[in-house]
Amino acid sequence: MYLAPVELLHSGKVRDLYADGDDLILVASDRVSVYDVILPTPIPDKGRILTQLSVWWFDQLGDLLPNHVISATDVPPEFAGRAIRCRRLQMVPVECVARGYLTGGGLTEYRATGSVSGVSLPAGLDEASRLPEPIFTPSTKAPAGQHDEPISFSAVVETVGAETAERLREITLGVYERGATLAAERGIIIADTKIELGWAPDGTLVLADEVLTPDSSRFWPADSWQPGRPAFSFDKQFVRDWAAGTGWDKRAPGPELPDDMVERTRARYVEIYERLTGKPW
């Protein structure tokens, strides 16, 4: 059977997007990125593990909203297990972020303004503080290599209208709370997550991209969480600490990882998959 070649549309840090006729093929690589730098050493099976975790979440979230998955198996053979055939959507031009904890860019913004994406927060919060309740903190979709800029809810209203803005907030918080609740029962804190939504031709909002993976969300082991202390990244901390120990200048290309680092990091992805899905990898 002649297999029409797929066309590369967009290559990201750790994933690539192809066109295959009317469909899209979203492919996850084994690349890992720390401090926004792609490391030269792949983590075997990372792409497959995160793709299968995302597929599992899509199924768990099917009662909240439809998703873009056409098939997780009908993909080009070279991408088997680490790609999703998905329907082409009109993507919402807003990064939909939910935060249950304060860290990263949200903490920086809070320290400067007392709020995150226009959402006022109580005084006295610190690194890794749990928020009184999860908040919707949208941002712009910055061009590759630049950081997304926080935008207020009213800016989202101006972009997509009030009804859709409310729906974006409702969906984003709903996906986060479903994921954070399930993960917490399994000893994992999901501190925040970024989802992508798109419109189907009939105007329905559809969950796209990847969902609730360690690449789209911050995963922390619950047993070592301490507000006021930088949290331990479940999947990336070993590599971050090791790379920092080599004296790596983060403006330089990332260092090659030694075999034990690769295996320990792979094991962390397997552990996340098994804990959340309850299925052996």
Ligand X SMILES: CCOC(=O)Cn1cc(-c2ncnc(N)c2C#N)cn1
Considering the complex, what minimum distance in angstroms separates the CB of residue 198 from ligand X? 5
* Nearer to ligand X among residue 15 and residue 237 (C-beta): 15
Considering the complex, what minimum distance in angstroms separates the CB of residue 148 from ligand X? 13
What is the C-alpha to C-alpha distance for residues 140 and 149, in angstroms, rounded to an integer? 5
Considering the complex, what minimum distance in angstroms separates the CB of residue 208 from ligand X? 4
Q: Which residue is nearest to ligand X (CB)?
A: 12
Considering the complex, what minimum distance in angstroms separates the CB of residue 70 from ligand X? 9
Considering the complex, what minimum distance in angstroms separates the CB of residue 87 from ligand X? 6
With CA atoms as reference, report the closest residue to 109 among 93, 95, 120.
120
* Nearer to ligand X among residue 36 and residue 223 (C-beta): 36
Considering the complex, what minimum distance in angstroms separates the CB of residue 66 from ligand X? 11
* Nearer to ligand X among residue 52 and residue 103 (C-beta): 52
* Nearer to ligand X among residue 70 and residue 270 (C-beta): 70
Binding residues for ligand X (CB under 6 A): 10, 12, 15-17, 24, 26, 68, 86, 88-89, 91, 196, 198, 208-209
Please state whether 210 falls in left (phi above 0), alpha (psi between -120 and 50) or beta: beta
What is the C-alpha to C-alpha distance for residues 214 and 130, in angstroms, rounded to an integer? 19
CA distances to 90, 188, 213 from 180, in Å: 28, 8, 12
What is the C-alpha to C-alpha distance for residues 191 and 169, in angstroms, rounded to an integer? 17
* Nearer to ligand X among residue 10 and residue 240 (C-beta): 10
With CA atoms as reference, report the closest residue to 182 among 246, 119, 115, 275.
275
* Nearer to ligand X among residue 200 and residue 270 (C-beta): 200
* Nearer to ligand X among residue 195 and residue 231 (C-beta): 195
Considering the complex, what minimum distance in angstroms separates the CB of residue 79 from ligand X? 13
What is the C-alpha to C-alpha distance for residues 98 and 81, in angstroms, rounded to an integer? 28
